[in-house]
Structure 1
């Protein structure tokens, strides 16, 4: 069985929280909140993909 990569779980949780934030911001009718959460999702997911690519290149995956 493979070991858990905790960094990916953290990225997934942060992305899910940011996606939930989009829904909350829509409910609050906050355009700034929606934009901020969309940017947060893009940053977190980008960091996750970048980390995965680096780990794959180093043979850690």
Structure 2
């Protein structure tokens, strides 16, 4: 149960990071768009790493 909640939080963080890219582009902020892309890469990287750890522990 804990693993599914953690993965749901990662999914929400990924969605918000992707939305931030669109918002930054609409606002005309180059640095914001680059920051959003970096945030997406970091969130997805952490999520896949955490998912692998949960799978190795037998929680998923």
With the length of structure 2 as denominator, give the TM-score of the two structures.
0.91
| RCO higher in structure (CA 8 A, sep ≥6) | 2
CA distance in 2, matches of 1:8, 1:55: 10
Richer in helix (by share): 2
State how many pairs are aligned.
59
Q: How does 1:1-61 map to 2 (within 5 A)?
A: 3=1, 5-61=4-60
Extract structure 1 runs of 4+ deviating beyond 4 A: none
Q: CA RMSD in A?
A: 1.1
